[in-house]
Structure 1
Amino acid sequence: MLNMLNRWYQRRFSDPHAVSLVAILLGGFLTIYFFGSLITPLLVAIVLAYLLEWPVARLTKLGLPRTFSVMLVLLLFAGLMSLALFGLVPTIWHQVVNLTADVPKMFNDLQVYVSSLPERYPDFVQPAQVVDLMNNLREKVLGMGESVVKGSLASLVSIATLGVYLILVPLLIFFLLKDKDEMMQTLLKVLPKNRRLASKVGSEMNEQISNYIRGKVIEILIVGIASYVTFAVMDLRYAVLLGVLVGLSVLIPYIGAAAVTVPVAMVGLFQWGWTPDFWWLLLAYGIIQALDGNVLVPILFSEAVNLHPVAIIVAVLVFGGLWGFWGVFFAIPLATLVKAVWGALLSAEDELDDVEQV
């Protein structure tokens, strides 16, 4: 057994470039795993810098100085974010307050409906089952209320952190965009010399991550706006809040869409009951999800969709468990990275076999 493992190790890692690739990946993994919470502003800035690099590069190609291009793009981005913050957030907050106030009435309506089940279906539902179900639901609702109160108290503490982010993140984005080439040269000096495979994988992943972040933002906007328009046309309550939730749900492939179906269906059910309007809502929501998964995602992520859905779900579970939100957000690029690294190691082994045969 030991001899077999030794042969496998010698075959896979006899190439110094392969060893350098694994060492760089291991160093990055350990850094994010142990210090991820400390460098969160830097991670946020890197994501936004990837998003804004495309317009900066386009302005630079038109002949504008890079520093001026960076400042112009950042000002436009800050203006859009301010518009969204002051225009959208108050509406969302107002709808959250209204929904919270309606929860007791929704719970009472549910209790009345469930209590009538033994009379409607005496052969299938017993009164004792209804009592146990309602007690469990009541405990869940009370638990959610306590969590909301604790979250509100915790949010007061995080206001100071948010203030720091609002100062640090724009500064980091500015310098990441402005001094991109100088920083890359400094980073290359620190990395191992034998990095042919690492450079190959890095070049591929740099393009992948840039396209992924840009595509994901576009997907969020398209799905969110389409959902809001659909809900508003159908006169569904909390249309803005639900539209935002549906848009953000695309951050978590497959799982997010399934999870956000619950609040959409519950609001529609308590507003209309088991009427045709409720079923039209589910049909419209299903069409949006089908178009997103079968049309929009293949267009925006033509390379990423080569991954099997099982691989994507496993990536969400594994990387989300390791790195929380960032692991979920980058689940598809990280899965693509694993695939690219595996392919690079196999190609290095094939090259070694060709040399040995010669």
Structure 2
Amino acid sequence: MKFLGVVKDFFTRYFSDEEAIILVLLALLTCILLYMFGSVLAPLFAAIILSYLLSPIVDRLQKFKVPHTLAVVLVFLFFFGTLFIALVTIIPALVKQITALVGDIPQMMRHFQQEIAKLPEKYPEIVSEELVLQWVSSLDLNQVGHQLTGWVPNVVTFSLNTLPSVLGVLVYAVVVPLMVFFILKDREYLWESFKSMLPSRRQLMNRIALEMNQQIANYIRGKFIEILIVGGVSFVTFVLLGLNYAALLAVLVGFSVLIPYIGATVVTIPVFAIGAFQWGFTSEMYGVMVAYLIIQILDGNVLVPLLFSEAVNLHPVAIIVAVIIFGGVWGFWGIFFAIPLATLVKAVVGAWPKHINAEGA
């Protein structure tokens, strides 16, 4: 009986409000739909995100007396024209560098094997020859190198097996821009239609939406700018230092900011490996690692506070847990929106109506 009383008090405190129950049901329904049809709806999500990013520019043009439709057309053509030029320029360079990197892997493996063999001479007190032999035999570096080299045709050529992927790319290349255009053009009508499907009594939803709208908008735009800045600065730095595969590594460093803390740590491995293979443990390699460390420090301590000054502060543990949970459920989009979703959960918990009985007051 005491347990039933505790359960009753819990539901009385947190679920006595009708709107709270409706909000829970809507959240559950949304999660189920995303889990079951997330891959199918991915183009729609991409179009909504891009429209969200571009809508402030449309509003800015309208303040200068530019007609709405013309503003949408100008922003649409500028954004997708710039994106097309960037992809045509960047993708061939990336494919070329990936092909070269995969072709160099056997040589890198042999170099790595030679460096491991030198460890007993350099550190006889720590590493023995028997231990090195065990490492080499367990890793079987030559076999790994040949296997990776065999992947080159899969990287640089297409076959009938890749047709579904090609069709997926075409869907994004054609359908997503069309949806972005019409969402931007008719966003007020679409928004009013969406609100008409919600309950008429939605004070809690409005309060949460108002709190989250600016934060999510700032986060998406800020993250987009952060990727461009970090990736661009990394590319220029790697080129100036003479590091091989500068474009490929810069893309990895740029997208690593999508996963706070974890991304920067993981990308350190290829930067270090390529630097060590190119120069060995020399001042040039250490210079690259110092430059990479400076970029990460400036990103975390200067750029992020400037871009996300209005975001709700979350503990690093909460951010990592959010990345693991939402990334595991929704993949790339779950990782991208891990922080906004965690902030949304925090906002919902903070705004949730709580009714305390007179006995418990």
Q: TM-score range by the shorter chain?
A: over 0.9
SS for the counterpart of 2:39 is: coil
Q: Structure 1 CA distance, aligned partners of 2:358 and 2:54?
A: 44
Q: Structure 1 CA distance, aligned partners of 2:271 and 2:162?
A: 26
The residue that corresponds to 1:124 in the other structure is: 126
Q: Is the 8 A contact 1:20 1:198 kept in 2?
A: no
Q: Is the 8 A contact 2:103 2:149 kept in 1?
A: no
The residue that corresponds to 1:231 in the other structure is: 238
**Pairing partner for 1:323 from 308, 330, 346:** 330
Write out per-residue CA displacement over residues 78-99 of structure 1, whole angstroms, 9 at most, x where no aligned residue.
1101110111111111111111
Amino acid at match of 2:90: L
The residue that corresponds to 1:78 in the other structure is: 80
The residue that corresponds to 2:20 in the other structure is: 18
**Pairing partner for 1:342 from 349, 353, 360:** 349
Number of aligned residues: 354
* CA shift in 2, pair 1:142/1:135, >3 Å: farther
Amino acid at match of 2:325: V
* CA shift in 2, pair 1:22/1:57, >3 Å: same
The residue that corresponds to 1:87 in the other structure is: 89
Q: Does 1:292 align with 2:299?
A: yes
Q: Structure 2 CA distance, aligned partners of 1:13 and 1:117?
A: 64
Q: Is the 8 A contact 2:72 2:181 kept in 1?
A: yes
Percent sequence identity is: 48
Which residues of 2 match residues 115-194 of structure 1 at below 5 A?
115-137=117-139, 138=141, 141=145, 155-194=162-201
Q: Is the 8 A contact 1:228 1:239 kept in 2?
A: yes
TM-score, with structure 2 as normaliser: 0.91
Pick which of 133-142 and 255-264 moved more.
133-142
* CA shift in 2, pair 1:135/1:204, >3 Å: farther
TM-score, with structure 1 as normaliser: 0.92
The residue that corresponds to 1:248 in the other structure is: 255
Q: Does 1:269 align with 2:276?
A: yes
Q: Does 1:111 align with 2:118?
A: no
Write out per-residue CA displacement over residues 118-169 of structure 1, whole angstroms, 9 at most, x where no aligned residue.
3443443233432332234336556656777667766443012211221110
* CA shift in 2, pair 1:18/1:145, >3 Å: farther
The residue that corresponds to 1:201 in the other structure is: 208
Q: Structure 2 CA distance, aligned partners of 1:17 and 1:68?
A: 40
Q: Is the 8 A contact 2:93 2:247 kept in 1?
A: yes
Q: Is the 8 A contact 2:243 2:275 kept in 1?
A: yes
Write out per-residue CA displacement over residues 322-342 of structure 1, whole angstroms, 9 at most, x where no aligned residue.
111111000010010000000
Q: Is the 8 A contact 1:20 1:195 kept in 2?
A: no
Q: Once superposed, what is the RMSD of the aligned Cα atoms?
A: 2.3
Amino acid at match of 2:60: R
The residue that corresponds to 1:34 in the other structure is: 36
Structure 1 consecutive aligned stretches of length 4 or more whose deviation exceeds 4 Å = 139-156, 352-357
Pick which of 60-69 and 99-108 moved more.
60-69
Amino acid at match of 2:256: S
SS for the counterpart of 1:39 is: helix
SS for the counterpart of 1:36 is: helix
SS for the counterpart of 1:38 is: helix
Q: Unpaired segments of 5 or more residues in structure 1?
A: none
Q: Unpaired segments of 5 or more residues in structure 2?
A: none
* CA shift in 2, pair 1:146/1:310, >3 Å: farther
* CA shift in 2, pair 1:305/1:11, >3 Å: closer
Following superposition, the deviation at residue 289 of structure 1 comes to 0.2
Amino acid at match of 1:341: V
Q: Structure 1 CA distance, aligned partners of 2:162 and 2:55?
A: 32
* CA shift in 2, pair 1:144/1:344, >3 Å: farther
**Pairing partner for 2:66 from 55, 64, 67:** 64
Q: Is the 8 A contact 2:327 2:333 kept in 1?
A: yes
* CA shift in 2, pair 1:20/1:145, >3 Å: farther
* CA shift in 2, pair 1:142/1:343, >3 Å: farther
* CA shift in 2, pair 1:127/1:13, >3 Å: same
Following superposition, the deviation at residue 276 of structure 1 comes to 1.2
The residue that corresponds to 1:96 in the other structure is: 98
Q: Structure 2 CA distance, aligned partners of 1:305 and 1:17?
A: 25
Q: Structure 1 CA distance, aligned partners of 2:150 and 2:18?
A: 55
Q: Structure 2 CA distance, aligned partners of 1:101 and 1:305?
A: 46
Q: Structure 1 CA distance, aligned partners of 2:359 and 2:218?
A: 39
